[in-house]
Structure 1
Amino acid sequence: MNLINQEALQEFRIICADLPAPPLFWKDGEGYRHGYESDLGRLLANTLGRSCKFAYQNWADFYPALQADQGEMILCGQGISDYRKTLADFTEPYAVFDEAVMVLRGSPVRSPADLVGKKVGAIANSLNMALAETFTGCICVPFGGDSDDVLGDMVQALREGKIDAFVDDDVALVPLAEEADLGIGFSVPTQNKWGIAVKKGNGQLLARVNDALATVKANGQLEQIWRKWMPSLSYPFGNN
């Protein structure tokens, strides 16, 4: 086996989105990927003695790419849901987040009751959409994730009046709420668990990634990168 093939075997290909979603992930002008999930991917690969490569896909293509062996795992904002567990196997959680509803600044929306008759966006088949579907009387608008920037698509639709609000995890919306025309209408303490998706049937890889994740939780490295990127959010796995 030549050196190139040996190196390829040592590289984790991490399926993720190539869009700006700080503090989770984004690229600087030189193409380097920053953020909590980016650092976690590198940390897990390093813990397993491997390098990593980010394999960029549109949101809607994550699971087809995983099935086609275009990456070993999906590490990109995947709340663990019953639906997603039909598509892949998941590690133990590496993050836990609440959800929030984003509106235009000045909107009177402050609770689910204020969304009756309103159009509410969310990514299709996501935990965010599942929450939107509990808001009695609202009109749910799914976003398919088949573009380069599904979060940007929802923001644009909100600004253009095509939707009245959209749901996402609070970690993604807190930075957006700093923009002059956007605000968080209300939050819901759903405590969604996020996990790393691995192709079904690959129990050996799942076990290894879980072991690496347990290691970085136990030695404090996961908490360190959490507090680096998300100091305003409580670390969900206790003190190490």
Structure 2
Amino acid sequence: MKKIMVLLASALMIMAVTGCSKKVEKGEFTIEKGVFKIGMEIGYPPMEYYADDGKTPVGFDIEMSKLLAAKLGLKVEFVDTAWDGIFAGLETDKYDAVISSATITPERLESMDFSEPYIGNGQAIILQKDSTANITKPEDLAGFTVAYQAETTSDYFMTKLADKGLKFEPAEFDKVINAYDELGLGRCDAVVSDALVSAAYLGPDSKYKSVWVGDPDEYFGIAIKKGNKALLDKVNEALAEIKADGSLKAVSESIFGADLTSN
């Protein structure tokens, strides 16, 4: 009897292991079968934001996500999430991935996995177009009120400057759009934001001007829950395909006027 029980237990263990691996082989690597749920803070133009109707998501990350989902054979679903809780939502399975201008950092890699980079980015300093402030580099921000989005690489950039002794008045916001609104209303002297994002606020008819752009020193990637290698591999494969076939380049050129995905 004991021998029979041991054999039965062994058989059940084999069935369990086989069942798990079979599930991955079938491609069931997302929270909901057939759906690619993406966590995104939809308020970060031109990367991800709502169109004029206030309900249609548009932007670079939106279009890239659609391309990826098509390659994966999945329906895409966007989950609009506040930035300060976006990675927690990934950990608690609210969505399969975060595609929201998320910079790949050593700290983040400790708690989540990232795809290969899909675009490079640096920081930029933006002023009102008619500003007479003598600001041409980060060190010139001393004594000024500087707006930026909290808990982002712009925040980290300014924190590093402060640690080096730069004295300025910080104005932190939960959305980058609010930082630019503050600048437009004259309630701050400058905005520090991702150079990619600043492109949405500049142009011939803009009320802003760019006075400094740093070299790309950070790269955006797709964040995936730690250990979900099946999805990570699929996403990297799909990302490589949309780079190779030129579809990601076309999206970049339509939004930024140049291909920024190969830097």
TM-score normalized by the length of structure 1: 0.83
Tell me, yes or no, if the aligned pair for 1:15 and 1:71 is still in contact at 8 Å: yes
Question: Residue 250 of structure 2 corresponds to which residue in structure 1?
Answer: 224
Q: Which has the larger radius of gyration?
A: 2
Amino acid at match of 1:143: E
- CA displacement, residues 90-113 of structure 1 (integer Å, 9 cap, x when unaligned): 111111122201222213211123
Is contact 1:129-1:142 (8 Å) kept?
no
Q: Which of 213, 223, 228 is equivalent to 2:239?
A: 213
What are the within-5 Å matches in structure 2 for residues 12-91 of structure 1? 12-19=36-43, 21-22=45-46, 24-29=48-53, 31-91=55-115
Select 1:153's aligned residue among 156, 178, 197.
178
For residues 87-136 of structure 1, what are the alpha-carbon distances to aligned partners after superposition, in whole Å with 9 as ceiling and x for unaligned? 42111111112220122221321112311222333333422223223435
Matched to 1:141, the amino acid is P
**TM-superposed deviation, 1:20:** 5.8
Structure 1 runs, 4 residues or longer, greater than 6 Å off: none
Partner of 2:166: 137
Q: Distance in 1 between matches of 2:172 and 2:226?
A: 26
8 A contact 2:248–2:261 mirrored in 1: no
Shift of 1:162: 4.9
Q: Contact 1:18/1:57 (CA < 8 Å) preserved in 2?
A: yes
Counterpart of 2:260 in structure 1 is 235
Measured at CA, do residues 190 and 176 of structure 1 come closer, stay the same or move farther in structure 2, by a change above 3 Å?
same
Larger deviation: 21-30 or 112-121?
21-30
User: Structure 1 stretch 181-190 or stretch 213-222: which is displaced more?
Assistant: 181-190
Q: How well do the aligned residues superpose, as a CA RMSD in angstroms?
A: 2.6
The gaps in structure 2 that reach 5 residues or longer are 1-30
**CA positional deviation for 1:229:** 1.7
Gaps of 5+ in 1: 1-6
Task: Please say if residues 183 and 191 of structure 2, whose CA atoms lie closer than 8 Å, have aligned partners that are also in contact.
Answer: yes
Counterpart residue identity of residue 89, structure 1: D
State the match for 1:201 in structure 2: 227
Q: Counterpart of 1:113? A: 139
Counterpart-to-counterpart distance in 2, 1:130 and 1:140: 15
Answer 1 or 2: which has greater helix percent: 2
**Distance across 2 between alignment mates of 1:142 and 1:195:** 27
The equivalent of 1:168 in structure 2 is: 193
What fraction of aligned residue pairs are identical, expressed as a percent? 23
When structure 1 is superposed on structure 2, of 176-185 and 71-80 the one drifting more is 176-185
| Aligned partners of 1:23 and 1:230 also within 8 Å | no
> How far, CA to CA, are the matches of 2:60 and 2:155 in structure 1?
24
Deviations 1:128-181 (A, max 9, x none): 223223435133637363xxxx11221233345554322211121122134653
Which one is further off, 114-123 or 96-105?
114-123
